Amino acid sequence: MEMDSAASELSFTRTVGGNAIVFHASIKSVTPLEKVLVETRRYKHALLSFSAREQNGAVELVIELKDRRLGLHTYYAPIHARDIEHPQFAWTFQRYLYDCMHDYLVEMFLETPQNREQRA
């Protein structure tokens, strides 16, 4: 059987018929985007919200401030298909999320000593 998704979910249903127990297996396809969205929902943050989107045939992590009134940009980070398909995706996703959060927060600086020195 060929599957075009990054992952699948196997579920079993137990049916009791007479004295015998029969198991029915079904496979639900999970797209790469759905797999990333499942991971983003595992994280709750006081200031940031996390989601994902498809962009040009790839999946992107989306990080944005919960308070959009500040007018700050949304952070988009591509996630490689091979990383999504990897059995350790949950762990690698966490590291990638934390790295992206760091980069996003650094991008929010309005001024640093370095850009003061450049203007002087």
Does residue 80 sit within a domain?
yes
Q: Does 9 score more than 90 pLDDT?
A: no
- Average pLDDT value for residue range 2-30: 57
Q: How many domains does the chain have?
A: 1
Does residue 82 sit within a domain?
yes
pLDDT of res. 115: 81
Does residue 117 sit within a domain?
no
What are the contacts of 71-74 at 24+ separation with CB within 8 A? 72/108, 73/107
Indicate the pairing of strand 48-55 with strand 58-65.
Answer: antiparallel
Half-sphere exposure of 55 (CA within 13 A, CB side): 12
CB contact at 8 A, 75 and 64: yes
**Local structure of residue 65 (DSSP, 8 states):** E
Domain residue limits at 62: 32-109
Q: What is the pTM of this model?
A: 0.73
